[in-house]
Structure 1
Amino acid sequence: MANEFQVVGTHIGGMQSALLEIRVWKFEEPETALMVSLGAPFGKSLEMQKSFWEYIRSYMNNGPYFDEHGNHSESDAFVQSQLAVKPNMSGWFRDTLAGIKKTRAENGGRKYLGGTDVVMVVGTLLLNPCFRIQELTYSVAKRRSRNLWPKVVTDRLKADGPTSRLVDLESHQKLAE
């Protein structure tokens, strides 16, 4: 479901915004449902939300491997190239120091440190504990959530994809009972 609305305030005037939400039901418990917001916290236009939904739909229809146009691909080269871009937040301090050392070597040691370098070193040094805590929290949450899904669901997460839908499995189980 995609909804567009206008937020009005005394200081901001009128601002267009849009929501993208999906309703999901718990496997084998249709009375338990959730509304999950899928939209990104930025680009809250209806066009952006529609584009994001098309990306998700393409992934669901074409499987985990697709090219830059959203078409099915037998190779995961494009997906791997996108995953390689993921920044390592706790590594920013180390990367900043490496960049300063490289600049120092290029300039022969004279006047190599700029104002931006100082701000980056201080900023990344101060934020480094937050980044470490964030990565630790993420890794613990990922480890804990691994075994919470039923086997019929985890089997569907493999690269070759599912052969049937969960809805069909549920309906066959209800007919068998």
Structure 2
Amino acid sequence: MIENAKKLLDMVVKKFGENKTLLLSGDSSSGFLPSHSGLIESQDNVCLTLRTASSEVKGMFTGFGFLIGGYGIILFLFIVFFGGGAKGNWWILFVSILIAIIPMVWEMSRPPSRLIVFNRRTQEVYYDRKGDLYYAVWDGIEAVAYEYSIVNQYSGSIVHGNLEIILRKFGASDNRIVLNLSGVPAGKRIPTLVGIWEYLRCFMTIGPWFDERGERTDTRSPFIEDGLKAGDVSSLDLLMEERSLIGREKQEGNGISGTAFIYWLGSYFFFPVALGESLIQKIDRVKGRKHWPEVIQERLDPNGPTTRLIDIEETYMAQKQKELDELHERMRKTLPR
């Protein structure tokens, strides 16, 4: 078991070397400027919620289901209008609808992606892992930032990076996990990782609102507004942006480049993929906000309790055990012998 960030650092140094590894503190500045991670789901006076890497790939199966099923439906309509009627080709329509619907139903029925919550009021970090609640107290918290390279025959050497903290399980302090705060590791470098940490540190220690230098502001600064807008951009938004590229080149009067034409063509061909991903991710985010247990839900309320989980852990678990014992006793008396 990795008990703390220093032990995690030792493991990382042993595996990747000391040159590209940093131990960061939540109590003091690293000297880097804060940078937006693009994973922030929401940010207000009390809480900042961070998406995990798994949420970014949600909807992929639905998207490709929409793509294959959608073009199957188009093929069926083409046969109906230009091939002399459907006749024995109804199976194409049936299979196409199934291909479009089954991945969507499956992904919608899956458990939601878990958000990471930074609570300024209680100075804690919360994370739900497969129904088990994990948390960390911000006071004295440390993080490990490191980068490494992965080499393969197709893409050569690609730099990866992680920003990780240690969380303990609520009600079982000896059970601990390593949690990545930086999302998909590909392309992440040390300066980026430390900038993400500084953003989180500024939120927890300086105030909910600050500028690009990490200095406190009374209201949302343009730095935060622009970051939140950029983080809310979906794959569908990016695809529509590519569609507008050809229009901008027309306005400039220099003709249409091959790149702009390919982007324009791809924006129509891959539209079902982006639509499916965007739809599932929106549903997933709504479900993710509601999965928290009651002890966390009340602490996410601006008027909720200010006690920390570490302060109530022993009493809370004793109360739950008492309720469970009472339930077992009632069942024992009710059930026939």
User: Would you say same fold, with TM above 0.5?
Assistant: yes
Which secondary structure does the structure 1 equivalent of 2:193 belong to?
helix
Q: 1:81 to 1:16 in 2, by over 3 A?
A: closer
Aligned amino acid, residue 79 of structure 1:
I
Q: Percent identity?
A: 24
Selected match of 2:224 from 76, 79, 83:
79
Q: 1:26 aligns with which of 169, 184, 191?
A: 169
Runs of 4+ in 1 over 6 A off after TM superposition: 8-17, 159-162, 174-177
Of 43, 53, 56, the match for 2:197:
53
Q: Do the aligned partners of 1:92 and 1:124 also contact (CA within 8 Å) in 2? A: no
Which letter does structure 1 place at the counterpart of 2:228?
A: L
The 5-angstrom pairing of residues 102-141 of structure 1 reads 103-104=249-250, 107=253, 112-141=255-284
Displacement of 1:120: 0.9
Q: Alpha carbon RMSD of aligned pairs, Å?
A: 3.9
Q: Indicate the residue corresponding to 1:154 in structure 2.
A: 297
Structure 1 length-normalised TM: 0.68
Aligned to 1:64: 208
More displaced stretch, 121-130 vs 86-95: 86-95
**Cα distance change of structure 1 residues 65 and 101 upon mapping to structure 2, 3 Å threshold:** same
Mind listing any 5+ residue stretches in structure 2 that lack a counterpart? 18-148, 323-337
CA contact (8 A) 1:64 1:159 kept: no
Give the counterpart of 1:166 among 297, 309, 312. Answer: 309
Write the distance in 2 (CA, Å) between the matches of 1:27 and 1:91: 39
CA offsets, 1:45-86, max 9 Å, x none?
Answer: 3x5434433332222223432222223333123422321234
Q: Which one of 215, 224, 235 corresponds to residue 89 of structure 1?
A: 235
Evaluate the alpha carbon distance shift between residue 84 and residue 103 of structure 1 in structure 2; reply closer, same or farther with a 3 A threshold: same
Where relative contact order (Cα < 8 A, 6+ residues apart) is larger, the structure is 2
Deviation at 1:91, TM superposition (A): 3.0
Larger Rg: 2
Cα distance in 2 for residues equivalent to 1:122 and 1:99? 11
3-state SS in 1 of match to 2:292: coil
Structure 1 alignment gaps of length 5 or more = none
Residues 89-141 of structure 1 deviation map (CA, whole Å, 9 limit, x = unaligned) = 2134443444434554664xxx7432122111122223322222221221222
Q: How far apart are the structure 2 equivalents of 1:172 and 1:72? A: 37
